């Protein structure tokens, strides 16, 4: 019985450690998004892909006057994944990203994330 208790404590400890690493990853991503956000820009994050089939991709876009000024992609299967700068959409209009124009050679989950982020930015621009 004591052995079973130690197993449960070990599993609980590993779960708490995993949650800690997930929080740290999200804080790192938030700090990296702040780096692409400059004066006068708005940012949005979109998600693409599936949790259990190939993983998800989180795409952060910053735009000013409908033109993408910065982009980062967070993609990976573990809490050790780190976002990478994404140069391809910089200078593109967000309406092109909503349709997927110019992103033909990217992974499907990155395209989906970029489309979601661009749609959010476009909706925000139409409200102002």
Q: pLDDT of 14-48, one tens digit each?
A: 999 999 999 999 999 999 998 888 767 789 999 99
pLDDT (tens digit per residue) in 77-121: 777 788 899 999 999 999 888 888 888 888 888 999 999 999 998
Q: How far is it, in rounded angstroms, from Cα 60 to Cα 53?
A: 21
**pTM, 2 dp:** 0.83
Asked if residue 127 has pLDDT above 70, the reply is no
| pLDDT tier at 61, thresholds 50, 70, 90 | very high
Would you state the pLDDT for residue 59? 94
Q: When comparing pLDDT for 21 and 55, which is higher? A: 21
């Amino acid at each position: 019985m004591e052995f079973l208790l130690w197993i449960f404590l070990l599993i609980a400890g590993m779960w708490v450690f995993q949650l800690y690493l997930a929080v740290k990853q999200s804080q790192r991503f938030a700090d990296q998004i702040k780096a692409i956000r400059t004066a006068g820009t708005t940012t949005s994050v979109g998600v693409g892909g599936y949790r259990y089939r190939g993983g998800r991709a989180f795409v952060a876009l910053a735009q000013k006057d409908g033109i993408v000024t910065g982009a980062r992609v967070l993609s990976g299967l573990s809490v050790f994944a780190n976002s990478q700068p994404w140069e391809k959409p910089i200078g593109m209009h967000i309406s092109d990203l909503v349709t997927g124009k110019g992103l033909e050679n990217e992974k499907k989950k990155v395209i989906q994330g970029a489309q979601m982020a661009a749609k959010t930015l476009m909706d925000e621009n139409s409200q102002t």
